Each structure stands twice: as C-alpha cells, then as structure tokens.
Chain A
Amino acid sequence: MNKSSSSSSSSSSSSNSKSKFISENVFKFQNHEEFEETPTWAAVVTVLGYAILSALGWLRDFLRHIGFEEKKTAYDPNPKDFVPLYQSYECFYTRNLYTRIRDVFNQPIASVAGAEVHVMERLSDDYNWTFKFSGKKIPSINLGSYNYLGFAENQGPCSEEAIKSIEKYGLTTCSTRHELGTQQYMKELESLMAEYLNVEDCIAFGMGFATNALNIPTLAGKGDLILSDKLNHVSLILGARLSGATIRTFDHNDVKDLELQLHDAIIHGQPRTCRPWKKILIIVEGVYSMEGSLCKLPEIIAIKKKYKAYLYVDEAHSIGAIGPRGRGVVDYWKVDPNDIDIHMGTFTKSFGSAGGYIAGKKTLIDHIRIYSHSACYSSSMSAPVVLQIISALNIIMGRDGTNDGQKRIQQLACNVRYFRRQLFDMGFIVYGNDNSPVVPVMIYMPAKIAAVNREMLKRGCAVVTVGFPATHLTESRVRFCLSAGHTKEMLDHALRAMDEVGHLVSLRYSKQNPHLRWHDLNRADYDKEYLSLN
C-alpha cells in the first residue's frame, strides 16, 4: 500500500492583492500513505496481557461477589421477580481494565486549550476509584486538541469579534431555525461557507455530531442502500441506523471492495424482493481521525459516476487543515466540488468554534432546511460561536487584509512534515498519510497506554492515548494532533520527550526503519527542510 507520487507544485494566493506570492516549493504534492503491519510478537504479548488481566478481573469480581471485597461501582440489587437491569458482563471491561488506568483519561484542564494547556493534577489513594485534586496545574504542550489552525485562543481578532457580538446580539435566540432562530449572522455564515467551499449553498447546525446523526435520515430512508467505510465515525453510523436504510460496509479505503459491493448491490437489488434500490449513498470521511489516512477521492468519484451513486464526504478533520488553500480534501486532490453531492464538515476543529455544516446544491440544501430534525427541533447557533467562525473564515480567506490565514496553513503543513518525518525516522510505527495533521503512533500493549501518558505528562506534553473500545483490541495508540500554533521549539521538546519515553517504554517497533535516538538523527537535514518551507 505504498504510493508516492510527486506532481507539479501548486502556488496559491488569496483574493487580496496585498498577499505575498508563495514560492513554488511550498506544497509539493507528495501523497504517501503507509500502515506498517503489527509485529507478531507484539500482538501475541498484547493478547496474553489482556488474558492475564481478564483472569485477574474474574478473580476480583468473584471476591466482590462473595463480599470479601467492597463493591465500589453502582450495582443492581437484583430483587426477586424483577428482570435484571444490567448485563454485568458489559461492565466487566470498565470495572476491571479501564478503572486501573482511569487517571489517564478525561483529564480536566484549567486554561484555554491552545498550543499550551494547564492540566490539573489528580491524585488517587484507592487505585483510581476516587480522585482528589492536589491544586497543582501542570503547564504542558497541548498535543491532544484538534486545534489545527491555532484559532483556539482567548486573545486576537476572533475573540474580540465574539465579545462584540455578545454585546450586540446577546447569547441566544431562544428559538429553533424554523421559528424565529434565523439571525442575520446565520445567513452571513452560510453564504460565506458556500463561497469558501465553492458550492451553491450551505446550512449550518449547532452541533457537529448532530449534523451527521440527524441529517442522514433526511437523505436516505427505507429502500435505500448506504455503503459506509468500516472505520467511519460513530455519528455517521448512528445517522445511518436512524435512517432505516440498509447498511453495508466496505474495507477501509479499499476502492476495489467498494466497486465489488456496488456491483453486487445493483445486480441483486434489495434483499428479499430483488427490486432495484431507490438510491445508493456512499459515505466516506476526508481524514480518519484514528488512522490519519486520507480517503482516495478521485477513484471513488470515478466509481460513483460509473454506477450512478451519491457521495457524502465528512470533512470534519480535513476542512481548513488539508490542501494548499485549506479547503479540505477537495482542494488536496483538486477535484471538482460539484462532483461530490453532499459536503459535510464541522467548525469544531480548524475554526476553533462549535457546530457543523452541510453544503451542496441549492435544491439539496432547501430540502434539508425543511426536513432536517436538527433545523426543526434544536435551537439555533449562539452569536459568539458564529462570529468566531466568521472571523476565522475571513482570516483564512485573506479578507481581513493580512496574510495571516495563508501563513497558518503553511505553518501547519511544515509542522506536520517535520514532526512526522522525525518520528518515522526514529523507528516508531506511525500510521497514516504524510500530510495529515493527525499522527497516530502505535503502542499495542495495555500497560503501556498508561505508562506513555504519565511519562509524557511528567515531561510536559499532554497527549491522548487510546485503547480498546475506540480502536481494535491489539492496536492501541497515542495520537498527536498538531497545530499551527506550535513553534519549532515546542515540537523539538515534544520529540525529545517522545524519544525518551520511547526508550523507557520500548515503543520502537518498526522493522523497516532502523531504531535511532533523537541525537542520532542528522539535525541539519530536518532544520534545513523546515526553514526552507517557512
């Protein structure tokens, strides 16, 4: 699955005449995606580790059952003649495995989650069943927030706009979109977003998850077929299930499998009646947040046109962060936006705000305006949230008269390439595309999830480590989210910390690359590349 192609570079300039002409070498189009295979010994040790912990969990449950040990979770008293409320086996994982390393998840923070964040320290006397705050705040580099363009800040033009909007509009409209909730700023946001994406119209909602979950039912229903990628986000799966359509999954980013499924679906029709499907909807994501991979848009579009299906692209993590002008995967692959039927995205990640949008042809958006659950029942977006998005959009598009937007996009691209290259060369297994700002590094073993998080926090880096329910059982990982707000010094500090932690915990699994320490790498090469792109 190793593809590398470099075609000609693209130079871009924003619509403002004062912007600088960007040099030719900046965005050399290199699309290299790699998922190195799990080494067998690591998989075996991981499964054995889970087996030992499960056996121990059974022992502890037995001790709790006979009363030898105190029960610390809420439990069902199971009175006679009543149906049991919980299946105790569902909570087995939570009680016995998750609680042992619970101090590593859901860590509260005490400052704005920008490039640096203050993590509140928690102490536990009884092995993570209860926590106490020690009052200390640990200042650390924030490698966990989806703050791709660095707009999550409490100073600057965006926050000033947001504050002014509270003075002008108050905080809420107290109404839904269908009633009296369509404010002037909503119209401005929607037209600005439609222009940004180069489509006809757009509609915005208050919550990104709800945008998917509540709007897919308006697009598909009983008698339709939804083909969704195996690793799609829960919001897409929930929306698909809520719609009542038949759902089939195809292997992650596997275009041949998708074609096979489409082919079969069209030939055999609906399951029992063999009638033709009313419509077929393919759902993919721009950047998959757990893998860091990009979808193969040109090939999917070719298939979609051949078999006359509809395409829904969820650009939650890619809008603003990918592409030479920050317009998402559409910009990255340079496809025609009219080829994709439904563009969807969120404002939470790159714009530093909250909410989601759906964009496409005017007829589609008019249909959604009337039939969407979200537009009908949920209250409309709040003024400071919308004004933050509008000012962020103005900065990215260059309409405020400065070059700030383009500089942020370039800074993010530089940071991503610098960070990824060094981690890869040190011998870690790093998943995903070379251009994606999401960098998952594999850990595999359950005990190392806790160790990596604690050791990185000791060295001043707040990272997100993910384990079983969010990923495959044997494939736990630490996921770095880079930002345009990170400076080179911060990245160097993070790399040094990762190097030390990788040595302490033994995270260098790669068989393709030699295992090097940070001081073994040739610093001059990486510095030269970073500075030349800047």
Chain B
Amino acid sequence: MYKTKQQRQSAWYYPLLEVIQSYYMQFLLASTLYVMEPWERILVLSIFFLIISLVTYSAFIYIPFHIHNILQATTPIITDIFKH
C-alpha cells in the first residue's frame, strides 16, 4: 500500500497538514518555545494552561451568581404590584 510521493501530494489533506505545520512553527517562534528544551516546553505550557483553567473555573462558578444578584437589585418587582 505504499503510495508514491506524487500520489501522496495530491491527497486532500496534505495542503491542510502543511498549513497546520506552518501555524505550529509560527506559534513556537512567537512564544519562544522554539528555543526551549522539551521539559521546559512542558513546564511553560502547563503553567499557562493552569492559569487559563483557574480563570475559566472561577468564571463558571461565580459569574451566574453575580448576574442573578444584579438583576434582582435593579429590575422593578412586578409580582408585588399584581398581588395587591
């Protein structure tokens, strides 16, 4: 099942793979991960993802509560008028 290079180039996913490779290279260069040793890359990426996940977690937990509070304090209470 070995395909020649010519046939492989015309497979539909090769241009996509090249684009992904080029974006990966640019990401490595802009974030200076290109010059780091493998363990340093893992360390920097894990610290970065840790911070991102902490921020996302606290956003999920605390934002609905605050929005509920704000809405409750500012909208007029229509139900009370209907009761009387």
A residues in contact (CB < 8 Å) with B: 45, 49, 52-53, 56, 100-101, 127, 445-448, 450-451, 503-506
Set of chain A residues within 8 Å of B42, measured between Cβ atoms = none
Closest Cβ neighbor of B35 among chain A residues: A100
B residues in contact (CB < 8 Å) with A: 22, 25-26, 28-37, 40, 44
Docked-complex contact B34 and A504, CB < 8 angstroms: no
Set of chain B residues within 8 Å of A450, measured between Cβ atoms = 34-35
* 8 closest residue pairs by CB, A with B: A447-B34, A49-B32, A100-B35, A447-B32, A447-B29, A506-B26, A448-B29, A447-B35
A468–B8 Cα distance when bound, in Å, is 43
Set of chain A residues within 8 Å of B28, measured between Cβ atoms = 447
User: Which of B22, B29, B36 interacts with A445 by CB under 8 Å?
Assistant: B29
Known contacts A504-B22, A506-B26: A49-B31 contact under CB 8 Å: yes
Given A56-B44, A447-B30, 7 additional A-B pairs, CB 8 A: A100-B36, A447-B31, A447-B32, A450-B34, A450-B35, A504-B22, A505-B25
A506–B23 Cα distance when bound, in Å, is 10
Known contacts A53-B35, A127-B37, A504-B25: A445-B44 contact under CB 8 Å: no
Set of chain B residues within 8 Å of A448, measured between Cβ atoms = 29
Interface centre among B28, B32, B33, B40 (most CB of A within 10 A): B32
Docked-complex contact B36 and A56, CB < 8 angstroms: yes
Closest Cβ neighbor of A446 among chain B residues: B32
User: Which of A45, A101, A505, A506 interacts with B35 by CB under 8 Å?
Assistant: A101
18 sampled A-B residue pairs with Cβ under 8 A: A45-B30, A52-B44, A56-B36, A56-B40, A56-B44, A101-B35, A445-B32, A446-B32, A447-B28, A447-B29, A447-B30, A447-B31, A447-B34, A447-B35, A451-B25, A505-B25, A505-B26, A506-B26
A503–B28 Cα distance when bound, in Å, is 15
Set of chain A residues within 8 Å of B22, measured between Cβ atoms = 503-504
A53–B25 Cα distance when bound, in Å, is 18
Interface of A: prevailing SS: helix
A451–B28 Cα distance when bound, in Å, is 10
Q: How far is the CB of B16 from chain A (nearest CB, A)?
A: 17
Docked-complex contact A451 and B34, CB < 8 angstroms: yes
A45–B29 Cα distance when bound, in Å, is 10
Docked-complex contact B35 and A445, CB < 8 angstroms: no
Set of chain B residues within 8 Å of A447, measured between Cβ atoms = 28-35
A289–B30 Cα distance when bound, in Å, is 27
A52–B25 Cα distance when bound, in Å, is 18
A53–B31 Cα distance when bound, in Å, is 10
Set of chain A residues within 8 Å of B31, measured between Cβ atoms = 49, 52, 447
Closest Cβ neighbor of A51 among chain B residues: B32
A503–B35 Cα distance when bound, in Å, is 19
Known contacts A56-B44, A504-B22, A505-B25: A49-B30 contact under CB 8 Å: yes
Q: How far is the CB of B15 from chain A (nearest CB, A)?
A: 14
Set of chain B residues within 8 Å of A45, measured between Cβ atoms = 30
Q: How far is the CB of B56 from chain A (nearest CB, A)?
A: 21
Known contacts A53-B35, A56-B40, A101-B35: A445-B30 contact under CB 8 Å: yes
A506–B37 Cα distance when bound, in Å, is 23
A128–B22 Cα distance when bound, in Å, is 25
A366–B16 Cα distance when bound, in Å, is 72
Set of chain B residues within 8 Å of A127, measured between Cβ atoms = 37
Set of chain A residues within 8 Å of B36, measured between Cβ atoms = 56, 100
Q: How far is the CB of A233 from chain B (nearest CB, A)?
A: 29
A445–B26 Cα distance when bound, in Å, is 11
Known contacts A56-B40, A56-B44, A127-B37: A451-B32 contact under CB 8 Å: no
Q: How far is the CB of A92 from chain B (nearest CB, A)?
A: 16
Closest Cβ neighbor of A455 among chain B residues: B25
A49–B33 Cα distance when bound, in Å, is 9
Closest Cβ neighbor of A49 among chain B residues: B32
A505–B29 Cα distance when bound, in Å, is 8
Closest Cβ neighbor of B28 among chain A residues: A447
Known contacts A127-B37, A504-B22: A53-B29 contact under CB 8 Å: no
Q: How far is the CB of A206 from chain B (nearest CB, A)?
A: 40
Q: How far is the CB of B70 from chain A (nearest CB, A)?
A: 34
Interface centre among B25, B35, B36 (most CB of A within 10 A): B35
Closest Cβ neighbor of B22 among chain A residues: A504
Set of chain A residues within 8 Å of B34, measured between Cβ atoms = 447, 450-451
Q: How far is the CB of A53 from chain B (nearest CB, A)?
A: 6
Set of chain A residues within 8 Å of B26, measured between Cβ atoms = 505-506
A207–B81 Cα distance when bound, in Å, is 97
A451–B25 Cα distance when bound, in Å, is 10
Set of chain A residues within 8 Å of B33, measured between Cβ atoms = 447
Set of chain B residues within 8 Å of A505, measured between Cβ atoms = 25-26, 29
A506–B22 Cα distance when bound, in Å, is 9
Set of chain B residues within 8 Å of A53, measured between Cβ atoms = 32, 35
Q: How far is the CB of B50 from chain A (nearest CB, A)?
A: 15
A52–B22 Cα distance when bound, in Å, is 22
A445–B25 Cα distance when bound, in Å, is 13
Q: How far is the CB of B51 from chain A (nearest CB, A)?
A: 13
Closest Cβ neighbor of B26 among chain A residues: A506
Q: How far is the CB of A100 from chain B (nearest CB, A)?
A: 4
Docked-complex contact A52 and B32, CB < 8 angstroms: yes
